[in-house]
Structure 1
């Protein structure tokens, strides 16, 4: 048996290994004197935490800058961001402000990742002793499913989720096997506090509460020989009684409680209901056991039927609970069309067994062996071992199903996976030592075998300079232009104050718009809640629209002043799903699985803006006029592609009222208008439109661009040129004319003989 001193030394080395794997991408985060945040969720977490640090301890739970024009209640609990804000303030105080807050932010997740490895050590120790804990922690230190969520540069609650899964199970195993009533009672109270507190960090932690209640109910109904059934029921009653009380202030601190929500994706009344129903179940079970003779049927009714009756009654009486039930099923089935675009939401085996091996190590192929071994231990081990194995078996099966259903839910399965393999390794070493002796040699051989098994995984953790999310890198200059040169909607650091307008983009850019561009968004990555999905659907409807007038009207209704447009073809099916049956047919299957765009794809607003710059275009023999209310302001330096096109990855357009140019000619006479433009990249464009004189001889144009323009943006190279019949005129349009929809007339003195004959136009 390992001594405490040796255990601490080895555990310290394992934690250093965990830190090293999570810091492997330092060169990709600290670049050229800048600190780069990894992804869009991390960006908003940092925005929220840095605001909380400045306004400590206030963490905003409503933001007008997200889901404009209604704003939205935040789905994320305050716990993670408040903890980060606290650390930022403490580090600033201790360092005298010498350490930049963002450096603290990007290192916070690696620290949480190391703490999660420590939590897995405690879980492994409960399952098989100190050696099992060390082995499980060593696996967790390098396992990609765990390291990926806690790499340097990420600022996200996912980093602490493994600890939120491991600690409740470790406490539960410790408590049910405690030898004294006092120790069992204290552990139950601690577990109740932990289960409630976790909801303040991640609402998905309700899974740990449900599993704790279910596993206690199962072992109380079918306890191993010699186990005290009444003690198990009392443990459950105390645990969930404490949890039901502690959860109340956490729920009341969030805005969803005020509207009576029972949603699963935020701290709502759902979590207190689950804890209260669990407490009631164990309380009634305790009453049935105190009767003599105790009735097994009454016990089963209390433990199994009471939660079922509460659930069915709640769903029958509460529309909120019905909606939650449907939403949960949709989420697990990736029915949420936004979730369906996220790689992490795909089933683990969707891309083959190789994905499972990469995420969980080569041990993934031995999954059935571990499952069978755990089941055998549940019935053949010592009574204490049987109790722990039966509880672990239920957690293992349920969390494995979660991980198989969605890759991201592996954070709930991986801690037990690591701990069980650690326990299996420790057990095998003990057995060999008992037979062969030579403890030192056996342990060295075991370590070498373990390293050999983990070599493919260890090779993944070399020093890299992988940049943050590619979409951010390719659109960063456009986001900076929106921040520094576009009109300001207000102060993003005052989320309680409604901004004046927003930017229309697809949801992937929503958080970047707030954190980098300092603009309000209409669609964002939060998903799940209906208020957030409204913006996602609105963005899909705009970018796939083929009616420019209707699309511009939609922008005006939503209060959008700018549009940020990016390539969409390779995500077109997922984006179209957001519209359901209203989606136009934009792609066709070609050559097996390959997709090709239909002509309608190039008529969508996304293509009209990105591919054709909002200019006049001829499609399928028809000339489509320019987008007269949308003007190109900026295009990114990075390149992007759509089928048959290559150009700037990201373009920014402005929604303008447009100036009116009016002139007179002969009734029925055609008039043409030209404006020559140059983009910030030096690309030359020609804006062309046409009109026909009415019965009175008058014609008019609505134009989006003005003569004035600044360096670094799209600007005109001269005035508008209008040709009507054999005459031509030049017209200067000011920015105020465009912004206020003023009319600019062409007087008789402005006309002169046209240099180009009408026949050549």
Structure 2
């Protein structure tokens, strides 16, 4: 017997948890330096803003933020539990007065702790479903599963891992409740004595725990109603199975109703405290919607049980599914007529979770599991999230169904329904792969256990007059190799994930630090109840970064307010129209990066209501004996504000000038840097006499903060009287910016070829002064 085999089950579990903790902590070695954390992805930065605010105003949390959707502000719908708990831990560690560094470190460690703890309910759920060996294999799989690790590693300060922990705990407790109810002799009949026994049973205890955990999920994630509704979807399926095998279903009524009642009792006090004016029945905020929703699920369970009993006494079991479908149709019709607001919240929530919102199609993580943004089939997300575990889970599900286990065991039937619903979510939006990670882990553990049984069969031997089961095969090496092959791809992907997490690029870090240090400070950052002085415009992906790192208000962020307006600005072909958006929004600075021009351009076009293909022409090129058709950027692409800014440094416009660019060069012809910061200015107007109809150009040469030399120009056409009016964005004198002009402007007409030079002061550009200069 190997040393590993001789270890106790508890020791093995602790070793797996310790390994899971270590691999999730690995990014700490390079994401925490100089007392500052580089957080993973985008949303973690807004969680950090919320955590900092809550720490300073504990237990208060952000309800509205004037730094989002500038200058209108934005009501925050994220439930507060995750941020409040992280803040509370920071206050404890910091002895009531934590530094920002302490708060960041605690917040970065928080998902690691939650991710490691999620192995506990997984083990108990899998063990109760399929046995302890499956439970152990399941936590081994989850410990190295890429998608779970991505949301629970150091710095991934987001509520996703809390969703996993809470939902798995609720489902596990419900499984315990079902198992207790089906394995005991009580609750067979609804007599007074048996009801008293039921109330005192462990089944009720577990159901209460499941209900409280569901209520906590409402305080953690706006999508938590899907967890609450999942149980209600399971109940009629299980009732149909019970009718088919003539099994009493009191255990199911008890577990479901007690769970929903516990959730109701626990959530009502929080709704009373947290409900906001104008959002009393909103699914996006903690509100009375959640109370009504739980009540609706409770009523549905009771009605399903009553119908099952009526059919069980008078009809065939297959009548029941038909009756339930009719009942659901009638219920939907009635709800839509009698409670339209409540119904619209439910339908909108379902549409959002299933990815039916048009905006979601422009978000990479909200795309369907097997398709990319261009509609092409891909397995990249599945492989990157699960490795071989997804395939092993599908094989296990087929084995489970073929054995008919769901019809024999209510807990396994619940697990199958749970898995199917979460798979539908992940299929609709790949972001929900993290919720599917638990189910994939259990099913992968199930397959590994089956392999274990097939390759290491037991045989009965007599020893000392006693019969004992021992391994028939002396070597377990073949099993180790097979299991290793299943684990290896996911483990390698996880190692890559923790070694190269999706963090803010260094160019963005430097650019946002520059923005913070070199632009006027805006007010109310720590208490964002009033409107700051000006706003910053960039694509929504970068909004949370700008808010947290630069401490500046943004027009749009990862909540995507006003995203269509921002998209229209970037693709505008007319500077006047583009500037009208900035004027309306009181925007002073614009940030762009190369991904907006290359990778994100498709999404920007879609949200702006533009045909993506209209920005490109087809060009046929001869390559050897064949011809290849490629897309070439056309004039519409080059004339968009985004390209004018990021590629041409504002040339062709009179109100936009480059202030700063990051270090990394992404293209050399022309030379373009990764991130750029532009200022929106009134611009100086140079006016005077030229030949009628003549195009007048103003041009100068500049040097950027990175020492890159570039030319800027703008043009205007003289009217019939020979008067031109040319707006220029850069000053040639008195500018302390790190990007500066090295020569005066040359003003030249394309017909007369007459030219003159003129210097422009910084004050003239900022004030929008008019300078006169005749060139004829």
Task: Give the drift of 1:169.
Answer: 1.7
- Given candidates 576, 599, 606, the residue that maps to 1:577 is 606
1:129-208 superposed matches below 5 A: 129-178=131-180, 179=184, 181=198, 182=200, 183-208=202-227
1:325-344 superposed matches below 5 A: 325=347, 328-329=350-351, 332-333=354-355, 335-343=357-365
Are 2:446 and 1:399 aligned?
A: no
2:765 match: 738
TM-score (norm 2): 0.83
1:601-640 CA-partner distances (Å, limit 9, x unpaired): 001111111111112xxxxxxxxxx311222222221223
- Given candidates 118, 141, 149, the residue that maps to 1:116 is 118
1:540 match: 567
Task: Give the drift of 1:159.
Answer: 2.0
Q: Partners of 1:588 and 1:251 in 2: how far apart?
A: 56
**For residues 560 and 249 of structure 1, do their structure 2 counterparts lie closer, same or farther at Cα, with a shift above 3 Å needed?**
farther
**For residues 162 and 380 of structure 1, do their structure 2 counterparts lie closer, same or farther at Cα, with a shift above 3 Å needed?**
closer
Are 2:250 and 1:230 aligned?
A: yes
Please give the secondary structure, in 1, of the residue aligned with 2:8: helix
- Given candidates 326, 340, 343, the residue that maps to 1:318 is 340
Task: Give the drift of 1:19.
Answer: 1.2
1:501-549 CA-partner distances (Å, limit 9, x unpaired): 211111111111101121111121224xxxx2xx211111111111111
Are 2:632 and 1:596 aligned?
A: yes
1:622 match: none
**Residues 693 and 717 in structure 2, CA contact (< 8 A), matched pair in contact too:** yes
2:709 match: 684
Are 2:407 and 1:371 aligned?
A: no
- Given candidates 565, 576, 579, the residue that maps to 1:549 is 576
- Given candidates 66, 69, 88, the residue that maps to 1:67 is 69
**Residues 330 and 336 in structure 1, CA contact (< 8 A), matched pair in contact too:** no
Task: Give the drift of 1:295.
Answer: 5.9
Please give the secondary structure, in 1, of the residue aligned with 2:493: coil
2:470 match: 438
**For residues 293 and 507 of structure 1, do their structure 2 counterparts lie closer, same or farther at Cα, with a shift above 3 Å needed?**
closer
1:620 match: none
Q: Gaps (5+ residues) in structure 2? A: 185-196, 461-468, 621-627
Q: Partners of 1:310 and 1:252 in 2: how far apart?
A: 28
Are 2:552 and 1:519 aligned?
A: yes
Query: Which stretch shows the higher mean deviation, 161-170 or 601-610?
Result: 161-170
1:33-44 superposed matches below 5 A: 34-44=36-46
**For residues 277 and 524 of structure 1, do their structure 2 counterparts lie closer, same or farther at Cα, with a shift above 3 Å needed?**
same
Q: Partners of 2:474 and 2:406 in 1: how far apart?
A: 26
Are 2:643 and 1:607 aligned?
A: yes
**For residues 582 and 321 of structure 1, do their structure 2 counterparts lie closer, same or farther at Cα, with a shift above 3 Å needed?**
farther
1:327-726 superposed matches below 5 A: 328-329=350-351, 332-333=354-355, 335-343=357-365, 345-348=367-370, 352-353=378-379, 355-379=381-405, 386-426=409-449, 429=452, 432=456, 434-435=458-459, 437-438=469-470, 449-462=482-495, 466=499, 469=502, 472-527=505-560, 532=561, 535-567=562-594, 568-580=597-609, 585-588=614-617, 594-615=630-651, 626-641=652-667, 645-663=670-688, 673-690=698-715, 700-708=725-733, 713-717=738-742, 719-720=744-745, 722=747
Query: Which stretch shows the higher mean deviation, 127-136 or 683-692?
Result: 683-692
1:224-278 CA-partner distances (Å, limit 9, x unpaired): 8575312311322222223234333444555667334544x55455433331111
Q: Partners of 2:696 and 2:98 in 1: how far apart?
A: 69
Q: Partners of 2:619 and 2:71 in 1: how far apart?
A: 41
**Residues 79 and 221 in structure 2, CA contact (< 8 A), matched pair in contact too:** yes
2:194 match: none
Query: Which stretch shows the higher mean deviation, 437-446 or 306-315?
Result: 437-446
Q: Partners of 2:757 and 2:416 in 1: how far apart?
A: 81
Please give the secondary structure, in 2, of the residue aligned with 1:177: helix
**For residues 368 and 302 of structure 1, do their structure 2 counterparts lie closer, same or farther at Cα, with a shift above 3 Å needed?**
same
Please give the secondary structure, in 2, of the residue aligned with 1:514: helix
**For residues 657 and 301 of structure 1, do their structure 2 counterparts lie closer, same or farther at Cα, with a shift above 3 Å needed?**
same
Please give the secondary structure, in 2, of the residue aligned with 1:337: helix
**For residues 588 and 184 of structure 1, do their structure 2 counterparts lie closer, same or farther at Cα, with a shift above 3 Å needed?**
farther
Task: Give the drift of 1:412.
Answer: 2.3
1:704-727 CA-partner distances (Å, limit 9, x unpaired): 233455666212335545568899
1:264-343 superposed matches below 5 A: 265-285=284-304, 308-316=329-337, 317-318=339-340, 321-322=343-344, 325=347, 328-329=350-351, 332-333=354-355, 335-343=357-365
1:175-212 CA-partner distances (Å, limit 9, x unpaired): 02223622222222221111121011112232221111
Q: Partners of 2:509 and 2:170 in 1: how far apart?
A: 42
Q: Partners of 1:91 and 1:440 in 2: how far apart?
A: 54
1:623 match: none
Please give the secondary structure, in 1, of the residue aligned with 2:118: helix
Q: Partners of 1:98 and 1:664 in 2: how far apart?
A: 59
Please give the secondary structure, in 2, of the residue aligned with 1:647: strand
Q: Partners of 1:219 and 1:497 in 2: how far apart?
A: 53
2:102 match: 100
Task: Give the drift of 1:324.
Answer: 5.3
Q: Partners of 1:368 and 1:462 in 2: how far apart?
A: 24
**Residues 459 and 472 in structure 2, CA contact (< 8 A), matched pair in contact too:** no
Task: Give the drift of 1:456.
Answer: 2.7
**For residues 22 and 301 of structure 1, do their structure 2 counterparts lie closer, same or farther at Cα, with a shift above 3 Å needed?**
same
Q: Partners of 2:301 and 2:573 in 1: how far apart?
A: 59
**For residues 668 and 454 of structure 1, do their structure 2 counterparts lie closer, same or farther at Cα, with a shift above 3 Å needed?**
closer
1:355-397 CA-partner distances (Å, limit 9, x unpaired): 535533434334443123322454588x5xx122221221222
**Residues 478 and 651 in structure 1, CA contact (< 8 A), matched pair in contact too:** yes
Q: Partners of 2:88 and 2:548 in 1: how far apart?
A: 20
**Residues 28 and 468 in structure 1, CA contact (< 8 A), matched pair in contact too:** no
- Given candidates 47, 51, 55, the residue that maps to 1:49 is 51
Query: Which stretch shows the higher mean deviation, 448-457 or 297-306?
Result: 297-306
Task: Give the drift of 1:65.
Answer: 0.8
Task: Give the drift of 1:341.
Answer: 3.0
**Residues 340 and 346 in structure 1, CA contact (< 8 A), matched pair in contact too:** no
**Residues 406 and 413 in structure 2, CA contact (< 8 A), matched pair in contact too:** no
Q: Partners of 1:484 and 1:410 in 2: how far apart?
A: 39
Query: Which stretch shows the higher mean deviation, 686-695 or 595-604?
Result: 686-695
- Equivalent pairs counted in the alignment come to 727
Please give the secondary structure, in 2, of the residue aligned with 1:359: helix
1:621 match: none
**For residues 728 and 404 of structure 1, do their structure 2 counterparts lie closer, same or farther at Cα, with a shift above 3 Å needed?**
closer
Task: Give the drift of 1:30.
Answer: 3.0
